[in-house]
Amino acid sequence: AAHQAFTTTRFILPLTFFSPEVPPQALLLTSRPAVIMRPVLLALAWGHAAAMLFGGPWRPEREQLAQRLAALMPLPPKDWHFARAAQGVQEDTFGLKWRGGGDDSEEDIYELACDGKCTSPSLTHYGKEKPKVIYYNAKYVEFNGMLNQCPKPCRVSPDPEDMPGADAVIWNTGAFNYWQDPPETKPAGQKWVFTAFFEPPRPPKVHETSVVDSNGFVDWTMTFHPKSDFMWPYSQLVPRAWGPGQPPSHPTGNGSSLQALDYFNTTGALDCINELEVGRKIDELKKELHVPRPKVLLAMVSNCMGERIDFLNTLQKFLPEGSMDILGRCGKPSPCKSRNESDQCHQDLFRQYKFYAAFENSRFEGYITEKLFRGFLEGMVPLAVGGRSKSDYEAIGVPEDAFIHVDDFRDMQELADYLTNIDDLDYMRFFAWRKTLRVASPMDTRVHSFCDVCKELHKPPGQQKPSRKSFSSDL
């Protein structure tokens, strides 16, 4: 069988690139109808021949992968060709790419994605439309199957060997001088997309020179800023059925603490949110929303410098004693020892407060971070300070009746009076948005933004967004 494999294909050598220590991670496959043979036998034959020639034993992991591959292959059987193997960026990453010979237009393209041990492989069928390749210089991002739901076929790679031939390179400017700087030359036709998640001025860890030196190469930007070519917000409120193939709920385009702790039954008590005056419904809704709540405002602050902590300390003087807590480095220790504490500990804590202080470090146009969305996720109403004004929040699809902004109040006394005296019915109306919207997860927003780039790459060059040629701090 090994001899037959040798004589029927010239793609045997890449199999020897299987690392003895590293399991396969992500496989890009292309196929064309050919001689009918069982794929698993073909893969086993190739592997055996490679082992005999190059001194490596046929490892059980390879046989298991071949069996899984055979099980995932579409019927009727195809002749699958190995074309290249390359060591991945991370030690536990390994990639193989299968390419069919001849005219690419005749290829039928598949992608096989695996986890670390390839225990749950999944097969994506791209059809005959060749997927665009996007290289992303981020070391700690999960890529397998990331863009499977995009309207157009694309795949994301963290492998620097894929960078020269990629259709687009997405540069995380926060990784410059830390993980990888852009090269001095740029391949013809390749699109460079710059991302940034920090507010100006840039923090010291960003290599300013690398950003400036790359001006002239920048095609598009993808940041939290509404004027970016592709908007990549920290999060957003989206329709509950929202997916990569759908537009967000607004007109513009990582951690465990952001896991959705949505306590509310949106098909139960919240269905009566607009019927609050019906007495028998009120008690049901209060129970669902944990109303009344004994305390007014929770602030969790670790940076004890600047206007934010001064504002909070002043506001606390206007509120009834004991109704506001500042937890963290700038206040009292949290009863939950860390963010990894059990969900029950955090739920018991957050359900005591009506409002959550979602105060940004700086106020710049469009700069709205996870602080706002943590308030939503934890079941409180955010008291926001950020953006140029409240309109920045509404511009990214946050309903005006989902939060309050300090700019709505003339002075500290008026704000404190509102927070203290709001009645239960008016307070519960802040939860009406949950009937139709949800908080997008970090992966939701990442995938949606990458799918927007993918869609743009599939357009003819003359129909794509124009190149900026420079990267400014507010874009």
Q: Per the domain annotation, does 246 fall within a domain?
A: no
Q: Is the per-residue pLDDT at 429 higher than 70?
A: yes
My answer on whether 453 and 433 are in the same domain is no
pTM: 0.67
My answer on whether 122 and 156 are in the same domain is no
What is the DSSP track for 288-342?
Answer: HHT-S-SEEEEEE----SSHHHHHHHHHHHHSPTTSEEEESTTSBPPSSSSTTS-
Count of beta carbons in the 10 Å neighbourhood of residue 250 = 17
Q: Per the domain annotation, does 369 fall within a domain?
A: yes
Is the N-terminal amide bond of 76 cis, ω within 30° of 0? yes
Q: Is the per-residue pLDDT at 105 higher than 60?
A: no
User: Can you give the residue range of the structural domain that contains 91?
Assistant: 55-126
Q: Cβ distance 161 to 169 under 8 Å? A: no
Looking at this protein, which amino acid is placed at residue 474?
D
Is the N-terminal amide bond of 77 cis, ω within 30° of 0? no
Hey, which residues does 234 pair with through a beta bridge? none
Share of the chain above pLDDT 70, in %: 55
Q: Are strands 230-231 and 220-223 parallel, antiparallel or unpaired?
A: parallel
H or E element, residue 110: strand 108-113
My answer on whether 407 and 300 are in the same domain is yes
My answer on whether 195 and 120 are in the same domain is no
Q: Cβ distance 375 to 346 under 8 Å? A: no
Q: Is 47 exposed, middle or buried (0-12, 13-18, 19+ CB in 10 A)?
A: buried
Dihedral sign from CA coordinates of 108, 115, 69, 245: negative
Q: Is the per-residue pLDDT at 113 higher than 60?
A: no
Q: Per the domain annotation, does 280 fall within a domain?
A: no
My answer on whether 303 and 381 are in the same domain is yes
Q: Per the domain annotation, does 468 fall within a domain?
A: no
CA angle, 388 then 389 then 392, to 5°: 85
Q: What would the two tokens of residue 303 be?
A: 């940076």
Q: What would the two tokens of residue 225 be?
A: 């800023």
My answer on whether 221 and 147 are in the same domain is yes
pLDDT category at 318 given cuts 50, 70, 90 is: very high
- The mean-pLDDT minimum among 110-124, 335-349, 419-433 falls in 110-124
My answer on whether 292 and 380 are in the same domain is yes
My answer on whether 194 and 304 are in the same domain is no
Q: Is the per-residue pLDDT at 473 higher than 50?
A: no
Task: Using the CB atoms, write b or e for 53-78: b if 16+ within 10 Å.
Answer: eeeeebeeebeebbebbbeebeeebb
Average pLDDT over residues 192-218: 58
Question: Residue 429 is part of a domain; what is its CATH number?
Answer: 3.40.50.11660
Look at the chain and report how many structural domains it folds into: 3
- The mean-pLDDT minimum among 187-191, 259-263, 375-379, 456-460 falls in 259-263
Q: Per the domain annotation, does 101 fall within a domain?
A: yes
CA angle, 4 then 9 then 15, to 5°: 95
My answer on whether 391 and 427 are in the same domain is yes
Q: Is the per-residue pLDDT at 108 higher than 80?
A: no
Q: Cβ distance 230 to 449 under 8 Å? A: yes
d(CA 170, CA 230): 11
Q: Per the domain annotation, does 303 fall within a domain?
A: yes
Q: What integer pLDDT is reported at residue 101 of this predicted model? A: 41
d(CA 195, CA 391): 23
My answer on whether 72 and 174 are in the same domain is no
Is the N-terminal amide bond of 292 cis, ω within 30° of 0? yes
pLDDT category at 209 given cuts 50, 70, 90 is: very low
Q: Per the domain annotation, does 279 fall within a domain?
A: no
Q: What integer pLDDT is reported at residue 78 of this predicted model? A: 44
What is the DSSP track for 191-215?
Answer: EEEEEE-SPSSPPTTS-HHHHHHTT
My answer on whether 316 and 413 are in the same domain is yes
Task: Using the CB atoms, write b or e for 87-97: b if 16+ within 10 Å.
Answer: ebbeeebbbbb
d(CA 50, CA 158): 28
For the chain, what is the radius of gyration of the CA atoms?
27
Chain centroid to CA 310: how far?
A: 33
My answer on whether 308 and 364 are in the same domain is yes
